[in-house]
Structure 1
Protein backbone atom coordinates (compact mmCIF):
# COMPACT_ATOMS: atom_id res chain seq x y z
CA UNK A 1 0.00 0.00 0.00
CA UNK A 2 2.89 2.35 0.77
CA UNK A 3 4.34 1.67 -2.66
CA UNK A 4 1.02 2.51 -4.33
CA UNK A 5 0.71 5.80 -2.44
CA UNK A 6 4.35 6.69 -3.22
CA UNK A 7 3.87 5.86 -6.93
CA UNK A 8 0.71 7.98 -7.10
CA UNK A 9 2.49 10.88 -5.36
CA UNK A 10 5.43 10.71 -7.79
CA UNK A 11 3.05 10.48 -10.77
CA UNK A 12 1.02 13.49 -9.54
CA UNK A 13 4.18 15.52 -8.92
CA UNK A 14 5.50 14.70 -12.39
CA UNK A 15 2.11 15.52 -13.97
CA UNK A 16 1.93 18.90 -12.21
CA UNK A 17 5.50 19.65 -13.36
CA UNK A 18 4.66 18.87 -17.01
CA UNK A 19 1.43 20.87 -16.95
CA UNK A 20 3.18 23.93 -15.50
CA UNK A 21 5.64 24.20 -18.42
CA UNK A 22 4.99 26.90 -20.99
CA UNK A 23 5.49 26.51 -24.70
CA UNK A 24 8.87 27.53 -26.07
CA UNK A 25 9.33 31.21 -26.75
CA UNK A 26 10.32 31.06 -30.39
CA UNK A 27 9.42 33.85 -32.76
CA UNK A 28 7.92 32.36 -35.90
CA UNK A 29 9.33 33.45 -39.26
CA UNK A 30 5.77 34.37 -40.26
CA UNK A 31 5.57 37.00 -37.50
CA UNK A 32 5.75 40.54 -38.91
CA UNK A 33 8.89 42.42 -37.89
CA UNK A 34 10.14 45.96 -38.43
CA UNK A 35 9.84 46.61 -42.18
CA UNK A 36 12.25 48.47 -44.42
CA UNK A 37 11.47 51.07 -47.07
CA UNK A 38 10.99 49.33 -50.44
CA UNK A 39 12.38 51.45 -53.29
CA UNK A 40 11.83 50.51 -56.94
CA UNK A 41 13.74 52.01 -59.88
CA UNK A 42 11.96 53.19 -63.03
CA UNK A 43 13.07 54.45 -66.44
CA UNK A 44 12.89 58.26 -66.58
CA UNK A 45 11.74 58.17 -70.22
CA UNK A 46 8.95 55.57 -69.90
CA UNK A 47 7.94 55.99 -66.29
CA UNK A 48 5.78 52.86 -66.23
CA UNK A 49 8.67 50.45 -66.85
CA UNK A 50 11.08 49.33 -64.15
CA UNK A 51 14.75 49.83 -64.92
CA UNK A 52 17.65 47.74 -63.75
CA UNK A 53 20.46 49.54 -61.95
CA UNK A 54 23.81 47.82 -62.42
CA UNK A 55 27.07 48.39 -60.53
CA UNK A 56 25.02 49.73 -57.63
CA UNK A 57 25.83 49.99 -53.92
CA UNK A 58 24.13 51.74 -51.04
CA UNK A 59 24.98 52.63 -47.44
CA UNK A 60 23.83 54.83 -44.58
CA UNK A 61 25.67 58.12 -44.67
CA UNK A 62 28.34 58.17 -41.96
CA UNK A 63 28.88 54.41 -41.84
CA UNK A 64 31.43 52.18 -43.51
CA UNK A 65 29.03 49.31 -44.18
CA UNK A 66 28.42 49.26 -47.94
CA UNK A 67 25.60 46.98 -48.99
CA UNK A 68 25.93 45.39 -52.38
CA UNK A 69 22.56 45.05 -54.08
CA UNK A 70 23.20 41.41 -54.89
CA UNK A 71 25.96 39.23 -56.29
CA UNK A 72 25.52 40.55 -59.84
CA UNK A 73 25.26 44.18 -58.74
CA UNK A 74 22.09 44.71 -60.80
CA UNK A 75 18.69 45.40 -59.22
CA UNK A 76 15.29 46.94 -59.94
CA UNK A 77 14.21 47.06 -56.29
CA UNK A 78 15.96 47.49 -52.93
CA UNK A 79 14.87 47.52 -49.29
CA UNK A 80 16.37 50.26 -47.13
CA UNK A 81 16.18 49.72 -43.37
CA UNK A 82 15.00 52.79 -41.48
CA UNK A 83 16.36 53.80 -38.09
CA UNK A 84 14.16 52.91 -35.13
CA UNK A 85 15.91 55.44 -32.86
CA UNK A 86 15.65 58.52 -35.12
CA UNK A 87 13.04 60.19 -37.33
CA UNK A 88 15.39 60.70 -40.29
CA UNK A 89 17.99 58.72 -42.20
CA UNK A 90 20.19 59.54 -45.19
CA UNK A 91 21.18 56.76 -47.56
CA UNK A 92 23.99 57.14 -50.09
CA UNK A 93 23.05 55.50 -53.40
CA UNK A 94 26.20 54.90 -55.46
CA UNK A 95 25.81 54.26 -59.18
CA UNK A 96 28.95 53.36 -61.13
CA UNK A 97 29.06 53.71 -64.90
CA UNK A 98 31.68 53.79 -67.63
CA UNK A 99 31.94 56.84 -69.88
CA UNK A 100 34.49 56.86 -72.73
CA UNK A 101 36.37 54.01 -71.07
CA UNK A 102 36.61 55.86 -67.76
CA UNK A 103 34.84 54.53 -64.67
CA UNK A 104 32.54 57.20 -63.26
CA UNK A 105 31.07 56.94 -59.78
CA UNK A 106 28.01 59.02 -58.95
CA UNK A 107 26.58 59.11 -55.44
CA UNK A 108 23.20 60.63 -54.68
CA UNK A 109 21.94 61.10 -51.12
CA UNK A 110 18.38 60.06 -50.33
CA UNK A 111 17.11 61.66 -47.11
CA UNK A 112 13.96 60.14 -45.64
CA UNK A 113 11.92 61.72 -42.84
CA UNK A 114 9.29 59.71 -40.99
CA UNK A 115 7.43 59.13 -37.76
CA UNK A 116 7.70 55.88 -35.81
CA UNK A 117 5.12 53.70 -34.09
CA UNK A 118 6.42 50.91 -31.84
CA UNK A 119 4.08 48.03 -31.00
CA UNK A 120 4.49 44.97 -28.83
CA UNK A 121 4.38 41.72 -30.82
CA UNK A 122 5.02 39.00 -28.22
CA UNK A 123 7.43 37.96 -25.51
CA UNK A 124 9.42 35.89 -28.01
CA UNK A 125 9.44 38.48 -30.80
CA UNK A 126 9.64 41.65 -28.74
CA UNK A 127 8.65 44.92 -30.41
CA UNK A 128 8.33 46.02 -34.00
CA UNK A 129 8.36 49.52 -35.41
CA UNK A 130 6.25 50.75 -38.29
CA UNK A 131 6.86 54.03 -40.07
CA UNK A 132 4.88 56.78 -41.77
CA UNK A 133 6.62 59.08 -44.26
CA UNK A 134 6.15 62.75 -43.43
CA UNK A 135 4.30 64.47 -46.31
CA UNK A 136 6.14 67.02 -48.44
CA UNK A 137 5.40 70.58 -47.38
CA UNK A 138 6.31 74.15 -48.37
CA UNK A 139 8.43 72.99 -51.30
CA UNK A 140 10.39 70.55 -49.14
CA UNK A 141 10.05 67.09 -50.72
CA UNK A 142 10.21 63.89 -48.71
CA UNK A 143 12.17 61.82 -49.55
CA UNK A 144 14.64 64.34 -50.95
CA UNK A 145 17.66 63.79 -53.19
CA UNK A 146 20.92 65.74 -53.01
CA UNK A 147 24.46 65.33 -54.32
CA UNK A 148 27.86 66.84 -53.61
CA UNK A 149 27.89 68.17 -57.17
CA UNK A 150 25.21 68.71 -59.79
CA UNK A 151 25.47 65.26 -61.41
CA UNK A 152 22.35 63.62 -60.01
CA UNK A 153 21.60 60.27 -61.61
CA UNK A 154 18.17 60.33 -59.96
CA UNK A 155 15.73 62.43 -61.99
CA UNK A 156 13.58 64.78 -59.92
CA UNK A 157 12.18 63.87 -56.54
CA UNK A 158 11.24 60.28 -55.70
CA UNK A 159 7.54 59.47 -55.93
CA UNK A 160 5.86 58.20 -52.75
CA UNK A 161 3.57 55.29 -53.63
CA UNK A 162 2.45 54.55 -50.09
CA UNK A 163 3.53 56.57 -47.04
CA UNK A 164 2.70 53.79 -44.58
CA UNK A 165 5.57 51.36 -44.10
CA UNK A 166 3.99 48.38 -42.38
CA UNK A 167 5.44 45.52 -44.45
CA UNK A 168 7.83 44.82 -47.30
CA UNK A 169 5.21 43.34 -49.63
CA UNK A 170 4.62 46.59 -51.52
CA UNK A 171 6.66 49.38 -53.07
CA UNK A 172 6.80 52.54 -50.96
CA UNK A 173 8.90 54.85 -53.16
CA UNK A 174 9.65 55.03 -56.91
CA UNK A 175 12.93 56.51 -58.16
CA UNK A 176 13.34 57.57 -61.78
CA UNK A 177 16.75 57.63 -63.48
Structure 2
Protein backbone atom coordinates (compact mmCIF):
# COMPACT_ATOMS: atom_id res chain seq x y z
CA UNK A 1 0.00 0.00 0.00
CA UNK A 2 2.82 2.41 0.85
CA UNK A 3 4.61 1.45 -2.38
CA UNK A 4 1.50 2.37 -4.44
CA UNK A 5 1.34 5.80 -2.80
CA UNK A 6 4.99 6.45 -3.60
CA UNK A 7 4.53 5.43 -7.25
CA UNK A 8 1.47 7.66 -7.70
CA UNK A 9 3.17 10.73 -6.22
CA UNK A 10 6.32 10.14 -8.27
CA UNK A 11 4.59 11.21 -11.51
CA UNK A 12 5.56 14.71 -12.56
CA UNK A 13 3.12 17.21 -14.02
CA UNK A 14 5.49 17.94 -16.90
CA UNK A 15 4.93 14.41 -18.28
CA UNK A 16 1.83 15.80 -20.03
CA UNK A 17 1.98 18.51 -22.69
CA UNK A 18 -0.95 20.93 -22.35
CA UNK A 19 -2.45 22.18 -25.63
CA UNK A 20 -1.60 25.81 -24.79
CA UNK A 21 2.12 25.10 -24.30
CA UNK A 22 3.08 26.98 -27.47
CA UNK A 23 5.10 24.31 -29.22
CA UNK A 24 4.22 25.26 -32.81
CA UNK A 25 5.42 28.51 -34.35
CA UNK A 26 3.71 29.74 -37.51
CA UNK A 27 4.72 32.58 -39.81
CA UNK A 28 1.90 35.13 -39.43
CA UNK A 29 1.23 37.01 -42.67
CA UNK A 30 -1.16 39.95 -42.94
CA UNK A 31 -2.58 41.41 -46.14
CA UNK A 32 -2.85 45.19 -46.52
CA UNK A 33 -3.98 47.82 -49.02
CA UNK A 34 -1.10 49.10 -51.19
CA UNK A 35 -2.71 52.58 -51.23
CA UNK A 36 -3.20 52.85 -47.45
CA UNK A 37 -0.62 50.57 -45.83
CA UNK A 38 -2.27 50.54 -42.39
CA UNK A 39 -5.62 49.22 -43.66
CA UNK A 40 -6.04 45.42 -43.75
CA UNK A 41 -7.32 44.22 -47.14
CA UNK A 42 -8.71 40.72 -47.62
CA UNK A 43 -7.40 38.55 -50.44
CA UNK A 44 -10.46 37.15 -52.24
CA UNK A 45 -10.70 33.37 -52.61
CA UNK A 46 -7.21 32.83 -51.21
CA UNK A 47 -5.52 29.46 -51.60
CA UNK A 48 -2.03 28.67 -50.29
CA UNK A 49 -0.09 25.56 -51.25
CA UNK A 50 3.48 24.71 -50.28
CA UNK A 51 5.79 24.40 -53.28
CA UNK A 52 6.15 20.69 -54.05
CA UNK A 53 2.97 19.81 -52.10
CA UNK A 54 -0.38 18.59 -53.41
CA UNK A 55 -2.55 19.96 -50.60
CA UNK A 56 -3.28 23.39 -49.15
CA UNK A 57 -1.57 24.53 -45.94
CA UNK A 58 -4.68 23.73 -43.88
CA UNK A 59 -4.43 26.62 -41.39
CA UNK A 60 -7.52 28.41 -42.76
CA UNK A 61 -10.56 27.62 -44.92
CA UNK A 62 -9.44 27.10 -48.52
CA UNK A 63 -10.61 29.63 -51.11
CA UNK A 64 -11.89 32.05 -48.50
CA UNK A 65 -11.25 35.78 -48.15
CA UNK A 66 -8.52 36.38 -45.57
CA UNK A 67 -6.75 39.40 -44.07
CA UNK A 68 -4.31 37.25 -42.10
CA UNK A 69 -2.97 33.69 -42.34
CA UNK A 70 -0.55 31.43 -40.44
CA UNK A 71 1.96 29.52 -42.55
CA UNK A 72 3.80 26.42 -41.29
CA UNK A 73 7.54 26.58 -41.87
CA UNK A 74 9.67 23.47 -42.35
CA UNK A 75 11.54 22.71 -39.14
CA UNK A 76 14.03 20.41 -40.86
CA UNK A 77 15.16 22.99 -43.43
CA UNK A 78 16.11 26.66 -43.65
CA UNK A 79 13.72 27.61 -46.46
CA UNK A 80 10.02 27.24 -47.25
CA UNK A 81 8.17 28.34 -50.38
CA UNK A 82 4.48 28.81 -50.97
CA UNK A 83 2.15 29.50 -53.88
CA UNK A 84 -0.33 32.21 -52.86
CA UNK A 85 -3.33 32.24 -55.20
CA UNK A 86 -5.69 35.21 -55.42
CA UNK A 87 -9.19 34.53 -56.83
CA UNK A 88 -8.50 30.79 -56.77
CA UNK A 89 -10.69 28.69 -59.06
CA UNK A 90 -10.35 25.56 -61.18
CA UNK A 91 -11.05 25.14 -64.87
CA UNK A 92 -12.92 22.13 -66.31
CA UNK A 93 -9.78 19.98 -66.07
CA UNK A 94 -9.16 20.89 -62.42
CA UNK A 95 -6.19 23.16 -63.18
CA UNK A 96 -5.77 26.32 -61.09
CA UNK A 97 -6.74 29.48 -62.98
CA UNK A 98 -6.32 32.09 -60.22
CA UNK A 99 -3.50 34.64 -60.05
CA UNK A 100 -0.54 32.72 -58.58
CA UNK A 101 2.38 34.42 -56.82
CA UNK A 102 5.26 32.68 -55.09
CA UNK A 103 6.54 33.53 -51.60
CA UNK A 104 10.04 32.39 -50.58
CA UNK A 105 11.01 32.42 -46.89
CA UNK A 106 14.61 31.87 -45.74
CA UNK A 107 15.32 31.46 -42.02
CA UNK A 108 17.40 29.91 -39.28
CA UNK A 109 15.90 27.33 -36.93
CA UNK A 110 16.36 27.32 -33.16
CA UNK A 111 15.30 24.53 -30.80
CA UNK A 112 13.94 25.42 -27.38
CA UNK A 113 13.23 22.85 -24.64
CA UNK A 114 9.64 23.12 -23.36
CA UNK A 115 9.25 20.18 -20.95
CA UNK A 116 9.59 16.41 -20.80
CA UNK A 117 6.04 15.96 -22.01
CA UNK A 118 6.25 18.51 -24.82
CA UNK A 119 9.84 18.03 -25.85
CA UNK A 120 11.43 20.71 -28.00
CA UNK A 121 9.79 23.54 -29.92
CA UNK A 122 11.33 25.03 -33.03
CA UNK A 123 11.40 28.79 -33.42
CA UNK A 124 12.66 30.67 -36.45
CA UNK A 125 14.66 33.79 -37.25
CA UNK A 126 13.77 35.24 -40.64
CA UNK A 127 16.69 36.05 -42.92
CA UNK A 128 14.82 37.02 -46.08
CA UNK A 129 11.28 36.95 -47.46
CA UNK A 130 10.78 37.55 -51.19
CA UNK A 131 7.88 37.43 -53.60
CA UNK A 132 8.16 35.86 -57.04
CA UNK A 133 11.86 35.01 -56.81
CA UNK A 134 13.49 35.40 -60.19
CA UNK A 135 10.86 37.94 -61.28
CA UNK A 136 9.12 35.48 -63.59
CA UNK A 137 5.51 36.58 -62.90
CA UNK A 138 4.25 39.05 -65.57
CA UNK A 139 1.16 40.05 -63.54
CA UNK A 140 1.83 39.74 -59.80
CA UNK A 141 -0.93 40.53 -57.33
CA UNK A 142 1.58 40.93 -54.49
CA UNK A 143 2.94 44.43 -55.07
CA UNK A 144 5.22 44.75 -52.03
CA UNK A 145 6.04 43.08 -48.74
CA UNK A 146 7.60 44.04 -45.44
CA UNK A 147 9.08 41.95 -42.63
CA UNK A 148 7.75 43.48 -39.40
CA UNK A 149 9.11 40.91 -36.92
CA UNK A 150 12.03 38.59 -37.70
CA UNK A 151 11.58 36.30 -34.68
CA UNK A 152 8.93 33.63 -35.35
CA UNK A 153 7.76 32.14 -32.05
CA UNK A 154 4.42 30.72 -30.85
CA UNK A 155 2.60 34.04 -30.49
CA UNK A 156 0.10 36.25 -32.28
CA UNK A 157 2.64 38.74 -33.64
CA UNK A 158 2.42 39.62 -37.33
CA UNK A 159 5.72 38.79 -39.03
CA UNK A 160 5.16 39.80 -42.65
CA UNK A 161 2.89 42.37 -44.29
CA UNK A 162 1.92 41.78 -47.90
CA UNK A 163 0.55 44.74 -49.85
CA UNK A 164 -1.81 44.28 -52.78
Question: Which has the larger Rg?
Answer: 1
Judge conservation of contact 2:46–2:88 (CA < 8 Å) in 1.
no
Give the whole-Å Cα distance in 1 for the aligned partners of 2:87 and 2:36.
22
Q: Deviations over 1:36-84 (max 9, x none)?
A: 1000000011111000111110010010012464267011000001110
Deviations 1:124-155 (A, max 9, x none): 11110010111xxxxxxx21111643110000
State the match for 2:129 in structure 1: 143
Q: Does the Cα contact within 8 Å between 2:23 and 2:122 map onto a contact in 1?
A: yes
Match of residue 160 from structure 1? 147
Number of equivalences: 155
State the Cα distance separating 1:12 from its structure 2 match.
Answer: 3.3
Structure 1: gaps spanning 5 or more residues: 1-10, 135-141
- Relative to structure 1, the CA distance from residue 59 to residue 21 in structure 2 (aligned partners, 3 Å threshold; closer, same or farther) is same
Structure 1 Cα separation of the partners of residues 107 and 9 of structure 2? 46
Larger proportion of helix: 1
TM-score (norm 1): 0.78
Q: CA deviation at 1:32?
A: 1.5
Judging changes above 3 Å, is the alpha-carbon distance between structure 1 residues 85 and 70 closer, same or farther for their aligned structure 2 residues?
Answer: same
Which residue among 131, 152, 155 is the counterpart of 2:124?
A: 131
- Tell whether 2:82 aligns with 1:96: no
Gaps of 5+ in 2: 90-95
Aligned-pair Cα RMSD in Å: 2.3
Verify the 8 A CA contact 2:46 2:62 in the aligned structure 1: no
Higher relative contact order (CA 8 A, sep 6+): 2
Q: For the residues of structure 2 that align with 1:85 and 1:122, how far apart are their CA atoms? A: 20
